[in-house]
Amino acid sequence: MSTFGTLFRVTTYGESHCASVGCIVDGVPPGLKLTAADIQVQLSRRRPGQSNLTTPRNEKDLVLIQSGVEHDHTLGTPIGLLVKNEDQRPHDYTETDLYPRPSHADYTYLTKYGIKASSGGGRSSARETIGRVAAGAIADLYLQQIHGITIVAFVSSVGKISIPSTTISSTKEDDDHVDDVLNPEYIELLTTVTREKVDEDVTRCPHAGTREAMKARIIRAKEANDSIGGTVTCVIRGLPGGLGEPVFDKFHAKLAHAMLSIPATKAFEIGSGFAGTQVPGSRHNDPFVLKENGGLATSTNWSGGVQGGITNGEDVYFKVGFKSPATISRPQETAQYDGTPGTLAARGRHDPCVVPRAVPIVEAMAALVVMEYVLVIKCSSGQVIDVVPFHSASQLMIQNARRATAALLPPVTSLPPTMVLPPGNK
């Protein structure tokens, strides 16, 4: 389906070559100060044509707020967000009338629906992620302002070029010695990296010793009419303990669901990830220590801030793997829809590597997951008692969540009298 979330619900719409793309966001707390500029920041980080490392398709991706906001404040009603498609070129896709693109969604969409968009990727296009990023920017704004939660993603690898992260070097089966699962420099990067630091370079890699090699690798793929994949690492700071549900709705399970719904994703790992499988439990366990406030913390964080599917108050960090983009201009031996062998040399304008532009998409999906759990906590904490009859428990949860989150926002004093209750009637 095209909807993500329950209490903070996002429905995206649009295809790569239609008139516009966007989303409807329901469950936004009323009274949140919000302007188009708050959303545009993230959309501009995602848009094509940013550098010679991305597709040359030149889209401004300017967001238009259609509903749910007046006088720069949310009303608590559905927010409609629209971005026009202005630089599409359907005529670049005539070859795909005959050929399904290898490793693309052309064939699978036809087998499922019996029909597909006549050009571009349709709903499987990365243009769909505009709605996610726009909605995620709203969630991100609330999480930062009210809960002090920050979300930062960055490019951690391109092809075989990676930011040095692990200390595991021995390949001997009987050698269990390891100083740390991840090296101290990488842990420091996770602790301190900011979006400003990430955006200093077009690769969106904050590691000075790695990004030039990444840049050269992407350009090499582009010049060869080919593509290359990579990974995006994300860290969420300031999360309280207790987010997540046992068994099927574990915090990291929801994160994996969100991340693997992004186009071109192929892998997800959290904390030490696959590197942690090579380390004995005696080195991988996170011992507890007493914090100054009397609570518990962990002296290491190989768990990635989640234990038993529930956040423990430490930073949550994870990595998402993106495949090499499927649409390339290099001739490929394949078959037409009718099975006739042939050669496809796709045209069009495509990213040689998606990870620099995927950074704000990963941040957006992380924000949507966290926002959902924050609303769950608020509506189940007993802070709000609602006596209005509802048709279902889910409706009651949504209403209570909306009121509880709105109660945390600062008082709104700049609205016309027709938009607020008179004093004493709240």
Q: Which residues belong to the active site?
A: 17, 104, 351
**In 3D, which of 417, 422, 405 has the Cα closest to residue 74?**
405
Counting Cβ atoms within 10 Å, is residue 316 exposed (0-12), middle (13-18) or buried (19+)? buried
According to DSSP, the β-strands at 150-158 and 230-237 are: antiparallel
Q: Is 290 helix (H, G, I), strand (E, B) or coil?
A: strand
> What does each C-alpha distance from 264 to 17, 220, 353, 395 come to in angstroms?
19, 20, 10, 35
- State which amino acid sits at residue 169: S
**In 3D, which of 417, 412, 371, 374 has the Cα closest to residue 31?**
412
Element (H, E) at 426: none
Dihedral sign of CA atoms 107, 110, 115, 117 in order: negative
Counting Cβ atoms within 10 Å, is residue 402 exposed (0-12), middle (13-18) or buried (19+)? buried
For residue 280, the tally of other CB atoms under 10 A from its CB is: 10
Dihedral sign of CA atoms 117, 119, 123, 124 in order: positive
- 350-382 burial: b if 16+ Cβ within 10 Å, else e: bbbbbbbbbbbbbbbbbbbbbbbbbbbbbbeee
Tokens of 131: 């709605």
Please count the residues of the chain: 426
> What does each C-alpha distance from 293 to 224, 287, 297, 313 come to in angstroms?
57, 18, 10, 13
Residue 384 C-beta-side C-alpha neighbours within 13 Å: 21
Is residue 347 a contact partner of residue 95, using CB atoms and an 8 Å limit?
A: yes
